[in-house]
Structure 1
Amino acid sequence: MPTDDSSLGQCPDCGDPITSAWLLVEYSKDDGTDGVWAECPSCGDVVAPK
């Protein structure tokens, strides 16, 4: 399980980093890969970090 400071990626809207503390949903995609939705702490949008 990731720690609160592990990176999920960057916000596709504002480019700021998103850590696992902001994780909302983890899921498995149809192609077998994992996906996440998180809230960006900077702009407040719910995004799929890149």
Structure 2
Amino acid sequence: MNTDESSLGRCPDCGERVPETWLLVEFKRDDGSEGIWAECPACEKVIAPEE
């Protein structure tokens, strides 16, 4: 079994790694950059993952 999942980054609240499977929304900001919202598997909040 492969346990090496790709990560979206870390939760800004608890620091937990957020796997790609927890991605909720991808969007493009007004300045042209891309953003994402995901659910943190540890604290169950909707967050913008940080690197």
TM-score using structure 2 length: 0.85
Please report the RMSD computed on the Cα atoms of aligned residues, expressed in angstroms: 0.6
Larger Rg: 2
Percent identity, aligned pairs only, is: 59
Unmatched runs of 5 consecutive residues or more in structure 1: none
Structure 1 counterpart of 2:21: 21
Unaligned runs of 5+ in 2: none
* TM-score computed with the length of structure 1 as normaliser: 0.87
The runs of 4+ residues in structure 1 deviating greater than 3 Å are none
Structure 1 segment 1-50 matched on structure 2, within 5 A = 5-50=5-50
Equivalenced residues, count: 46
